[in-house]
Structure 1
Amino acid sequence: MSSKSRTAETYERIKKDILDGRYLPNERLAIDRLSEGGEVSPGAVREALSRLTSDGLVVAEAQRGFFAAPVSAADLRDLTEVRVEVEVRCLASAIEHRTLRWEADLLAAHHQLTKTPKSIGTGRAVRMNDAWSDLHAQFHTALVATCANTWWLKLRGQLFLQAERYRRLLAGNEKAGERDVDFEHDRIMQAALSHDAAIACRLLAEHLQKTAATLLACRPPEKAGLQWKPPED
């Protein structure tokens, strides 16, 4: 395997571990330990961590090394505010520049998502289904795929990644039965396929805001580095 492929593989592995909470916020990411664990060179790990720093999932501190980025309720609120604006812009452009292929891909992504369980396991062993998370990301990406502005799409991808980290960190702590996420996704899709940008964008904004509100209302699991305050603080 080439050094470029090794770096890409290492990047994906560490990114997944951060998103899944295997590396906690503010946890030091030791290059030697990551190199030994992944059986890759320190150089590949360093390049991967540099990429993750650009993504905002890792922070680099002079003389101290790399750390998983911190999280906080205040950050999630700020992230959601910017994300709503960017996602809505992307969706409006996608609807304006829609194609038959876009409609078909969106329908296919939605179908796969609705046929996949959000969680797997039973009792205390229940956990988020990685397959659902992947399909959820694919659905939201398909929704804005024909956006004409590539810079908006790049920014949207970065913001989605940050929001996904919060969702996974707090997975399993949402209050069950209060939302029908499949229904929300379906309404957004139907409005987009009807070419009604105003309604589709409003529904998407509400969907993202509800997700943030649900997470903010959670009491996070007892994990080091989670700087959390209830919404009323």
Structure 2
Amino acid sequence: MAISKTAEVYDDLKEELLNGAFRPGAKLAIDGLATRYTVSASAIREALARLTSDRLVVAMPQRGFHVAAISREDLLDLTEVRVEIEARCLRRSIALGDVDWEAQLLATWHRLSRAGTSPEGRGHPDWAHIHARFHDDLVAACDSKWWLYLRGELYVQAERYRRMLLPQVEGIRNIEAEHREILDLVLDRQTEPAVEALTRHMQKTTRRLLESGLVRGHD
């Protein structure tokens, strides 16, 4: 029971960190979190320890746990590396993907497009998770577990920036059309155009965040 409770707290805390519920750099008080989640302090410590592995939390000697910082430099570096790894994974996925992969990708895109065009739009409660699944499915046929692992780690970091800041700066952007363009190119096995479309998709998000002025340089 304790293990499952820790896992539950970990999942809830991770979602809150990704959604920007805690200010970057803020201290995470164990006792306060234990009260908030009605669990023991040890369950909170275990969850926070796991979140340090995700690089969403930083453990500071003698100072406890803090929310990982964000910065312009980090976002630029993250995007550059992410583009390289996503491109590698997508090329392999297109080369190796079969009809079952295509079917799963189409099904996920259909769910994503329905959620995005619902009255809630990208505020739909399931949109972020279906969006992540769509991007996962694009590269699901890649045969390198290590490239996929690294890609997944970077996606979480990029998602933190997107969820924390993009709702404030997104403005007019037809993300559904961007996803459809990527999907069509992937299914047509147009590898390099698909990679270019995915790259533009990621870089556009980064550019909007940087132009907003909400992501500043290191102090």
TM-score (norm 1): 0.87
Aligned residues: 217
On the 8 A contact 1:87/1:156 being kept in 2, the answer is: yes
Distance 1:115 1:175, change over 3 A: same
Report the alpha carbon displacement of residue 26 of structure 1 after superposing the two structures with TM.
Answer: 0.6
CA distance in 2, matches of 1:175, 1:48: 32
Matches within 5 A, 1:19-34: 19-34=18-33
Larger helix fraction of residues: 2
Q: Distance in 1 between matches of 2:154 and 2:125?
A: 19
Question: Is the contact made by 1:128 and 1:171 (CA closer than 8 Å) also made in structure 2?
Answer: no
1:209 aligns with 203
Q: Which residue of 2 aligns with 1:105?
A: 104
Residue correspondence of structure 1 range 83-232 to structure 2 within 5 A: 83-117=82-116, 128-177=123-172, 179-220=173-214, 228=216
How many Å apart are 1:175 and its aligned residue? Answer: 4.7
Render the CA deviation track for 1:64-97: whole Å, top value 9, x for unaligned. 0000100011111111001101111111111122
Assess, with a 3 A threshold, how the Cα gap between structure 1 residues 119 and 157 changes in structure 2: closer, same or farther.
farther
Is the 2:116–2:122 contact (alpha carbons within 8 Å) kept by the matching residues of 1?
no
Gap runs ≥5 in structure 1: 221-226
Distance of 2:108 and 2:209 partners within structure 1: 25
RMSD: 1.8
SS at match of 2:66: strand
Percent of aligned pairs with the same amino acid: 45
Equivalent residue number for residue 54 of structure 2: 55
1:118–1:132: 8 Å Cα contact kept in structure 2? no
| Alignment-mate amino acid for residue 228 of structure 1 | R
Amino acid at match of 1:56: R
Cα distance in 1 for residues equivalent to 2:175 and 2:122: 17
- Shift in CA distance, 228/47, structure 1 to aligned 2, threshold 3 Å: same
Alpha-carbon distance, 1:173 to partner = 2.2
Q: Residues 3-57 of structure 1: CA distance to partner in whole angstroms, max 9, x if unpaired?
A: 2211110111111111111111011111111112112222221111111111110
User: How far apart, CA to CA, are the structure 2 residues paired with 1:8 and 1:134?
Assistant: 18
